[in-house]
Structure 1
């Protein structure tokens, strides 16, 4: 299910079983890369049951590390 209905999306977000330790979203049925956080107004989170979502998180972290390690601090605004 690539684009779940609004009702399905809300049900997944509110279901306690989809949140490990209360903060990590883990839902194998949800194929979205960045589903909304538990409080939807706070933005998006990673679905740790989706390998593409985890790969996106790792790529973002590596990009940040690369930019901070290889560019002089005077270039960073």
Structure 2
């Protein structure tokens, strides 16, 4: 699979159709696990159209919960 150009990535990022309710990134063409948020300097989001992105989020979130669970007070 070809890597999209920087121009294509910017076009996807700026397209309001790829942002559900203005906050949730949903683009089936974008294979990145963690694309930048709508305001890029605020970090990354997950692509809700990519199952690998959702899986990576669940694993990361679960790991944080496990670490907190076993943390000694």
Provide the TM-score with structure 2 as the length reference. Answer: 0.91
Q: Distance in 2 between matches of 1:33 and 1:9?
A: 13
Q: Distance in 1 between matches of 2:64 and 2:37?
A: 22
Q: Distance in 2 between matches of 1:36 and 1:5?
A: 15
Q: Structure 1 residues 47, 12: CA separation in 2 closer, same or farther (over 3 Å shift)?
A: same
SS state of the match for residue 28, structure 1?
A: coil
Q: CA deviation at 1:2?
A: 5.3
Superposed CA deviations along residues 25-69 of structure 1, whole A, max 9, x for unmatched, are: 000000111111111222211000000000011011101110011
Unaligned runs of 5+ in 2: none
Q: Distance in 2 between matches of 1:2 and 1:46?
A: 21
Across the aligned residues of Structure 1 and Structure 2, the Cα RMSD in angstroms comes to 1.2
Greater than 4 Å deviation, 4+ residue runs: none
Q: Which residue of the partner structure matches residue 29 of structure 2?
A: 29
Task: Tell me which structure has the larger Cα radius of gyration.
Answer: 1
Unaligned runs of 5+ in 1: none
1:67 lines up with 2:67 in the alignment: yes
